[in-house]
Amino acid sequence: MKDSEHPFFRPLWRRVAVVAVCIIWSIIEFTTGTPFWGTIALGFAGYAVWQFFYLYKPVDENKAPAESEPKE
């Protein structure tokens, strides 16, 4: 399991909040005159968008995990 697939990130609002915080942090860094850290924070936001919205595959809540299925 990757960290982006952690159960904490299942609700959409949490994934949106992480991206929003990174973007706000980037804006703050750019406005205070530290473009290096603004670029780093913008990179975090881009990576979060990639992981949480492009590659993210939601877990089917109705399907039982493979470990709990009886083996015949």
For Cα atoms 6, 11, 16, give the angle at the middle one, nearest 5 degrees.
100
Which residue type is seen at 12?
Answer: L
Q: How many domains does the chain have?
A: 1
Q: Does a structural domain hold residue 21?
A: yes
Question: What SS3 state is found at 4?
Answer: helix
Give the global pTM: 0.73
Q: pLDDT band at 24, cuts 50/70/90?
A: very high
The answer to whether residue 67 is domain-embedded is no
Does residue 64 lie in a domain region?
Answer: no
**Residue 25's domain spans which residues?**
3-55
Indicate left, alpha or beta for 33 from its phi (over 0: left) and psi (-120 to 50: alpha): left
42 within some domain = yes
Round the average pLDDT of the chain to a whole number and report it: 83
Within-domain flag for 68: no
Residues in the chain: 72
pLDDT, tens digit (0-9, with 9 covering 90-100), for 2-12: 677 778 888 88
Residue 39 has pLDDT above 90, yes or no: yes
